Amino acid sequence: MITVEDWAEIRRLYRSEKLSQAAIARQLALSRNTVAKALRSEAPPRYERRRAPMSAWAQVEMAVRALLDQFPTMPG
């Protein structure tokens, strides 16, 4: 994925400097497909954090706590 700065630079080179997509790809060490995709998009790339996966403990915590409430001396 490219940064917002790369996206802006690609668009500047294409529109102002009149460089070809292949020349931009060579200059910025990007794929031609990446350059083409950046030129097609109207807005800069957005970054969204993925939700952290639920931990193994979180998946069983309620069951363990219920067992401990039911049998308080269970661990010992």
Q: Is residue 70 part of a domain?
A: no
**One pLDDT digit (tens) per residue for the chain, 76 residues:** 899 999 999 999 999 999 999 999 999 999 999 999 999 999 998 888 888 888 888 889 989 889 888 888 877 6
- How much is the pTM? 0.62
- Residue 1: predicted pLDDT: 81
* CA distance to 6, 15, 52, per residue, from 76 (Å): 60, 73, 34
Q: Please check whether residue 52 lies inside any domain of the structure.
A: no
Per the structure, the complete domain to which residue 8 belongs is given by 1-46
Pull the structure tokens for residue 8: 């802006």
Per the CB < 8 A criterion, the answer to whether 12 and 38 are in contact is no
CATH number at residue 40: 1.10.10
Residue 62 corresponds to which tokens in the numbers above?
């309620």
- Which sign, positive or negative, has the C-alpha torsion 57, 61, 63, 65? positive
Domains of the chain: total:
1
* CB contact at 8 A, 14 and 24: yes
